[in-house]
Amino acid sequence: MASYSAISRSLAQAWSDRTVLENLPAERIPADANAAYAIQHEIIAQRGGQIGGWKVGAKSPAGPIQGAPLPAEACLANGARVARRDYAPLGLELEIAFRFGRSFEPRDEPWPDDEVMGAIQSMAAAVEIVASRHAAWPDVDKLAQLADLQNHGALIVGEEVAYRADFPFVSPALQFTFDHANIAAQAVANPAGDPRRLLPWLVNHCTCHRAIAVTPDMIVTTGSYTGMVFPSAAGVARGEIDGLPAVHLVLS
Protein backbone atom coordinates (compact mmCIF):
# COMPACT_ATOMS: atom_id res chain seq x y z
CA MET A 1 0.00 0.00 0.00
CA ALA A 2 2.99 2.34 0.24
CA SER A 3 2.91 2.95 -3.50
CA TYR A 4 -0.84 3.59 -3.38
CA SER A 5 -0.32 6.13 -0.61
CA ALA A 6 2.16 7.87 -2.87
CA ILE A 7 -0.47 7.98 -5.62
CA SER A 8 -3.13 9.37 -3.32
CA ARG A 9 -0.75 11.99 -1.89
CA SER A 10 0.24 13.23 -5.31
CA LEU A 11 -3.37 13.35 -6.50
CA ALA A 12 -4.53 15.08 -3.31
CA GLN A 13 -1.79 17.68 -3.70
CA ALA A 14 -2.72 18.25 -7.33
CA TRP A 15 -6.35 18.75 -6.27
CA SER A 16 -5.34 21.31 -3.66
CA ASP A 17 -2.87 23.17 -5.88
CA ARG A 18 -5.04 23.05 -9.02
CA THR A 19 -2.13 21.53 -10.92
CA VAL A 20 -1.60 18.45 -13.09
CA LEU A 21 0.89 15.62 -12.89
CA GLU A 22 3.21 15.53 -15.87
CA ASN A 23 3.97 11.83 -15.84
CA LEU A 24 2.49 8.60 -14.52
CA PRO A 25 5.12 5.94 -13.78
CA ALA A 26 3.89 2.37 -14.14
CA GLU A 27 4.38 1.76 -10.42
CA ARG A 28 1.80 4.47 -9.68
CA ILE A 29 -0.98 2.84 -11.66
CA PRO A 30 -3.43 1.00 -9.37
CA ALA A 31 -3.19 -2.78 -9.65
CA ASP A 32 -6.95 -3.24 -9.91
CA ALA A 33 -10.29 -1.54 -9.33
CA ASN A 34 -10.21 -2.25 -5.59
CA ALA A 35 -6.94 -0.39 -5.30
CA ALA A 36 -8.34 2.50 -7.36
CA TYR A 37 -11.37 2.75 -5.07
CA ALA A 38 -9.12 2.73 -2.00
CA ILE A 39 -7.08 5.59 -3.48
CA GLN A 40 -10.26 7.62 -4.07
CA HIS A 41 -11.02 7.61 -0.36
CA GLU A 42 -7.42 8.29 0.61
CA ILE A 43 -7.52 11.42 -1.56
CA ILE A 44 -10.52 12.79 0.31
CA ALA A 45 -9.09 11.81 3.69
CA GLN A 46 -5.71 13.41 2.96
CA ARG A 47 -7.43 16.63 1.97
CA GLY A 48 -9.36 16.59 5.24
CA GLY A 49 -12.65 16.74 3.42
CA GLN A 50 -16.04 15.08 3.52
CA ILE A 51 -17.98 13.15 0.91
CA GLY A 52 -20.71 15.38 -0.51
CA GLY A 53 -22.03 12.92 -3.06
CA TRP A 54 -21.19 10.33 -5.67
CA LYS A 55 -20.85 9.99 -9.40
CA VAL A 56 -21.78 6.70 -11.00
CA GLY A 57 -21.98 5.59 -14.62
CA ALA A 58 -21.74 2.89 -17.24
CA LYS A 59 -20.83 2.89 -20.92
CA SER A 60 -23.80 0.78 -22.04
CA PRO A 61 -27.26 -0.23 -20.73
CA ALA A 62 -25.96 -3.62 -19.60
CA GLY A 63 -22.30 -2.73 -19.10
CA PRO A 64 -20.27 -2.70 -15.90
CA ILE A 65 -20.76 0.17 -13.48
CA GLN A 66 -18.16 2.28 -11.71
CA GLY A 67 -18.24 5.33 -9.52
CA ALA A 68 -16.40 7.77 -7.30
CA PRO A 69 -17.01 9.88 -4.22
CA LEU A 70 -17.38 13.63 -4.72
CA PRO A 71 -15.63 16.00 -2.31
CA ALA A 72 -18.20 18.11 -0.47
CA GLU A 73 -16.42 21.33 -1.42
CA ALA A 74 -16.77 20.39 -5.10
CA CYS A 75 -20.58 20.05 -4.88
CA LEU A 76 -21.79 23.54 -5.79
CA ALA A 77 -25.12 25.33 -5.82
CA ASN A 78 -26.98 26.35 -8.95
CA GLY A 79 -25.49 29.45 -10.55
CA ALA A 80 -22.01 28.87 -9.15
CA ARG A 81 -19.15 30.91 -10.61
CA VAL A 82 -16.03 28.87 -11.25
CA ALA A 83 -12.63 29.86 -12.61
CA ARG A 84 -11.61 28.15 -15.84
CA ARG A 85 -7.97 28.22 -14.77
CA ASP A 86 -8.78 25.89 -11.86
CA TYR A 87 -9.57 22.98 -14.18
CA ALA A 88 -7.37 21.36 -16.81
CA PRO A 89 -9.00 20.10 -18.88
CA LEU A 90 -12.49 21.50 -18.41
CA GLY A 91 -15.31 19.44 -19.87
CA LEU A 92 -19.03 19.88 -19.22
CA GLU A 93 -21.74 17.21 -19.03
CA LEU A 94 -25.49 17.57 -18.42
CA GLU A 95 -26.83 14.90 -16.08
CA ILE A 96 -29.65 13.95 -13.72
CA ALA A 97 -28.81 13.70 -10.03
CA PHE A 98 -30.80 11.95 -7.30
CA ARG A 99 -31.11 12.14 -3.54
CA PHE A 100 -32.38 9.45 -1.19
CA GLY A 101 -34.89 10.14 1.56
CA ARG A 102 -33.27 7.70 4.01
CA SER A 103 -29.87 6.36 4.95
CA PHE A 104 -28.38 3.05 3.88
CA GLU A 105 -25.98 1.85 6.54
CA PRO A 106 -23.01 -0.47 5.99
CA ARG A 107 -23.82 -4.18 6.21
CA ASP A 108 -22.70 -7.48 4.70
CA GLU A 109 -25.97 -8.26 2.93
CA PRO A 110 -26.72 -6.29 -0.25
CA TRP A 111 -29.63 -3.90 -0.18
CA PRO A 112 -32.42 -5.12 -2.54
CA ASP A 113 -32.99 -3.12 -5.71
CA ASP A 114 -36.61 -2.37 -4.85
CA GLU A 115 -35.65 -1.00 -1.44
CA VAL A 116 -33.07 1.31 -3.01
CA MET A 117 -35.44 2.46 -5.74
CA GLY A 118 -38.22 3.03 -3.22
CA ALA A 119 -35.97 5.37 -1.25
CA ILE A 120 -35.40 7.91 -4.05
CA GLN A 121 -36.76 11.20 -2.77
CA SER A 122 -35.79 13.91 -5.26
CA MET A 123 -34.03 14.60 -8.53
CA ALA A 124 -32.42 17.57 -10.25
CA ALA A 125 -30.61 18.61 -13.39
CA ALA A 126 -26.86 18.86 -12.81
CA VAL A 127 -23.75 19.85 -14.71
CA GLU A 128 -20.54 18.02 -13.97
CA ILE A 129 -17.23 19.70 -14.63
CA VAL A 130 -14.91 16.96 -15.87
CA ALA A 131 -11.24 17.52 -15.04
CA SER A 132 -8.11 15.47 -14.57
CA ARG A 133 -5.02 15.64 -12.40
CA HIS A 134 -3.04 14.01 -15.24
CA ALA A 135 -1.54 16.20 -17.97
CA ALA A 136 -1.78 13.39 -20.53
CA TRP A 137 -5.55 12.94 -20.11
CA PRO A 138 -7.44 11.33 -21.86
CA ASP A 139 -4.48 9.11 -22.78
CA VAL A 140 -4.20 7.85 -19.22
CA ASP A 141 -4.62 4.34 -17.86
CA LYS A 142 -8.30 3.68 -17.02
CA LEU A 143 -7.52 2.56 -13.48
CA ALA A 144 -5.51 5.75 -12.93
CA GLN A 145 -8.54 7.73 -14.08
CA LEU A 146 -10.79 5.78 -11.72
CA ALA A 147 -8.43 6.50 -8.83
CA ASP A 148 -8.51 10.19 -9.76
CA LEU A 149 -12.18 10.32 -8.70
CA GLN A 150 -13.09 9.25 -12.23
CA ASN A 151 -12.00 12.60 -13.68
CA HIS A 152 -14.24 14.67 -11.43
CA GLY A 153 -13.84 18.43 -11.13
CA ALA A 154 -17.06 19.81 -9.65
CA LEU A 155 -20.81 19.24 -9.68
CA ILE A 156 -23.32 22.08 -10.01
CA VAL A 157 -26.78 20.96 -8.91
CA GLY A 158 -30.03 22.64 -9.90
CA GLU A 159 -33.15 22.96 -7.79
CA GLU A 160 -34.42 19.58 -6.65
CA VAL A 161 -37.98 18.40 -7.25
CA ALA A 162 -39.90 15.40 -6.00
CA TYR A 163 -38.92 12.12 -7.67
CA ARG A 164 -41.22 10.91 -10.45
CA ALA A 165 -41.07 7.25 -11.40
CA ASP A 166 -42.78 8.02 -14.73
CA PHE A 167 -40.12 10.54 -15.83
CA PRO A 168 -38.61 9.73 -19.29
CA PHE A 169 -35.18 8.89 -17.89
CA VAL A 170 -33.85 7.03 -20.93
CA SER A 171 -34.03 9.94 -23.35
CA PRO A 172 -35.55 13.15 -21.94
CA ALA A 173 -36.07 16.29 -23.98
CA LEU A 174 -33.34 18.78 -23.13
CA GLN A 175 -31.25 21.76 -24.13
CA PHE A 176 -27.62 22.40 -23.25
CA THR A 177 -26.17 25.76 -24.25
CA PHE A 178 -23.06 27.83 -23.72
CA ASP A 179 -23.63 31.56 -24.14
CA HIS A 180 -26.92 30.63 -25.87
CA ALA A 181 -25.25 28.36 -28.47
CA ASN A 182 -26.27 24.70 -28.50
CA ILE A 183 -23.55 22.36 -27.20
CA ALA A 184 -25.58 19.16 -26.81
CA ALA A 185 -24.78 16.15 -28.96
CA GLN A 186 -27.41 15.35 -31.60
CA ALA A 187 -28.23 11.98 -30.05
CA VAL A 188 -29.44 12.68 -26.53
CA ALA A 189 -29.20 9.63 -24.30
CA ASN A 190 -27.44 8.35 -21.22
CA PRO A 191 -25.08 5.51 -22.28
CA ALA A 192 -26.14 3.57 -19.16
CA GLY A 193 -29.72 3.52 -20.41
CA ASP A 194 -32.08 4.27 -17.53
CA PRO A 195 -29.69 5.87 -15.03
CA ARG A 196 -31.70 4.63 -12.07
CA ARG A 197 -30.23 1.15 -12.66
CA LEU A 198 -26.94 2.58 -11.34
CA LEU A 199 -28.32 3.44 -7.91
CA PRO A 200 -28.51 -0.06 -6.33
CA TRP A 201 -24.92 -0.68 -7.45
CA LEU A 202 -23.80 2.56 -5.84
CA VAL A 203 -25.56 1.84 -2.54
CA ASN A 204 -24.11 -1.66 -2.31
CA HIS A 205 -20.65 -0.58 -3.47
CA CYS A 206 -20.60 1.90 -0.58
CA THR A 207 -22.28 -0.13 2.14
CA CYS A 208 -21.05 -3.67 1.40
CA HIS A 209 -17.63 -3.04 -0.12
CA ARG A 210 -16.45 0.27 1.37
CA ALA A 211 -18.33 0.23 4.71
CA ILE A 212 -19.64 3.74 4.03
CA ALA A 213 -23.21 4.87 4.67
CA VAL A 214 -25.18 6.52 1.87
CA THR A 215 -27.15 9.33 3.49
CA PRO A 216 -29.79 11.89 2.45
CA ASP A 217 -27.23 14.70 2.45
CA MET A 218 -25.35 13.03 -0.42
CA ILE A 219 -26.22 13.85 -4.03
CA VAL A 220 -25.77 11.09 -6.64
CA THR A 221 -25.18 12.06 -10.27
CA THR A 222 -25.62 9.44 -12.94
CA GLY A 223 -23.82 10.18 -16.20
CA SER A 224 -24.07 12.48 -19.18
CA TYR A 225 -26.99 12.78 -21.60
CA THR A 226 -25.08 15.14 -23.88
CA GLY A 227 -21.56 13.82 -24.21
CA MET A 228 -18.66 15.94 -23.03
CA VAL A 229 -18.09 19.44 -24.37
CA PHE A 230 -15.05 21.68 -23.90
CA PRO A 231 -15.82 25.43 -23.94
CA SER A 232 -12.89 27.46 -25.18
CA ALA A 233 -13.69 30.71 -23.38
CA ALA A 234 -15.45 32.20 -20.38
CA GLY A 235 -19.23 32.22 -20.45
CA VAL A 236 -22.46 30.77 -19.09
CA ALA A 237 -23.44 27.12 -19.45
CA ARG A 238 -27.14 26.35 -19.05
CA GLY A 239 -28.85 22.98 -19.00
CA GLU A 240 -32.60 22.47 -19.30
CA ILE A 241 -34.13 19.01 -18.96
CA ASP A 242 -37.90 19.07 -19.51
CA GLY A 243 -39.66 18.53 -16.20
CA LEU A 244 -36.74 19.75 -14.08
CA PRO A 245 -35.67 23.28 -13.11
CA ALA A 246 -32.80 24.61 -15.22
CA VAL A 247 -29.22 24.48 -13.98
CA HIS A 248 -26.47 26.93 -14.90
CA LEU A 249 -22.93 27.94 -14.04
CA VAL A 250 -20.65 30.82 -14.91
CA LEU A 251 -17.13 30.17 -16.17
CA SER A 252 -14.89 33.16 -15.50
Residue 197: inside a domain, yes or no? yes
* CATH number of the domain encompassing residue 116: 3.90.850.10
Angstrom distances, CA of residue 127 to CA of 18, 20, 154, 159, 225:
20, 22, 8, 12, 10
Residue 97: inside a domain, yes or no? yes
Q: Residue 242 — φ and ψ, nearest 5°?
A: -55, 130
Q: How many domains does the chain have?
A: 1
Which domain covers residue 73, as residue numbers?
A: 51-251
Q: Residue 76 — φ and ψ, nearest 5°?
A: -110, 155
pLDDT tens by residue, 181-237? 999 876 678 999 999 999 999 999 999 999 999 999 999 999 999 989 999 899 999
CA angle 113, 117, 120 (to 5 degrees): 150
pLDDT tens by residue, 223-238? 999 989 999 899 999 9
What local confidence, expressed as pLDDT, does residue 149 receive? Answer: 97
Residue 99: inside a domain, yes or no? yes
Residue 10: inside a domain, yes or no? no
Residue 55: inside a domain, yes or no? yes
pTM above 0.85, yes or no: yes
Residue 21: inside a domain, yes or no? no
